[in-house]
Amino acid sequence: MKRARVAYAGAIHVAYPDARGVRLADGRICREDEVVWLPPIAVGTLFALGLNYAEHAKELSFAKQKQPLVFMKGPNAFIGHRGVTRRPDDVVNMHYECELAVVIGRPTKAVAVADAMQHVAGFTIANDYTIRDYLENYYRPNLRTKNRDGATVLGPWFVDAQDVPDYDALELRTCVNGQETQHGNTRDMVTKVPELVAYLSSFMTLAPGDVILTGTPKGVVNVNVGDEITCEIGQLGRLVNTIASDADFGRY
């Protein structure tokens, strides 16, 4: 089942796909642009994977790491479908990262790889922007690079794990202003979803609502003010957002 969280008429609603837009849990139908899209789940702790596709690591001239490169993100970073992400005026290289997002469904501690998917509630799409100018090094992606307000777009839908049996063979596509710039497949992950869940749970307890961003394929390009970026993953849907300038960002 696909479902979203949206704000409409002063309240937060669960919403479902409808040919006319979205259907709220109370039966009302709204156009997509009549609601404010929120991240489709209440995010707990978010873990992000760096360089988890071999070709992307090669694209950035980075050798394969021995263990997953993981960092965490604060709640200020999360926005929903059709949201706006700021591009600071002083940067030269800011790019998107289309990623499969894995949502934990129950407390998870020291789980085996073979049992890890039993702890996954479902999936959504993430677009996790990076400002390359601010990156000190890949092992220490600093706060200005990865924890900016509105820099991590999630949604539009949360899809139950049972409805995504092919999570290890999903196509990822990114388009900038309608032109495809990135195309990959989750089969090319260096560390697979069950392995990521097992790895993280080997030294800490994961909780329901925790999210793991699994990395992005090769094909990242610079984005500019006014660009519309669309990330699409298999049957999960299409996640859209736009880039705003410093001057315009506060107006949204």
> Does residue 118 sit in helix, strand or coil?
helix
Report how far residue 218's alpha carbon sits from residue 211's, in angstroms, rounded to the nearest whole number: 22
Residues 14 and 82 in one domain: no
Residues 222 and 99 in one domain: yes
**What's the domain count of the chain?**
2
Q: Domain of residue 30: give its range.
A: 1-38
Beta bridge partners of 130: 95
Question: What is the CATH classification number for the domain harbouring 201?
Answer: 3.90.850.10
Q: Write b or e for each residue in 206-245: b if 16 or more Cβ atoms lie within 10 A of its Cβ, otherwise e.
A: beeebbbbbbbbbbbeebebebebbbbbbebbebbbbbbe
Beta bridge partners of 17: 22
pLDDT by 10s per residue, the chain, length 252: 999 999 999 999 999 999 999 999 999 999 999 999 999 999 999 999 887 887 655 555 455 566 788 889 999 999 999 999 999 999 999 999 999 999 999 999 999 999 999 999 999 999 999 998 887 665 556 677 888 899 999 999 999 999 999 999 999 999 999 999 999 999 999 899 999 999 999 999 999 999 999 999 999 999 999 999 999 999 999 999 999 998 888 765
**For the chain, how many helices (H) and strands (E)?**
4, 19
| Predicted structure pTM score | 0.94
* Angle at alpha carbon of residue 89, lines to 84 and 93, rounded to 5°: 85
- Cα–chain-centroid distance for residue 184? 15
Residues 73 and 190 in one domain: yes
* CA quadruple 185, 147, 110, 121: dihedral sign: negative
Report how far residue 10's alpha carbon sits from residue 27's, in angstroms, rounded to the nearest whole number: 16
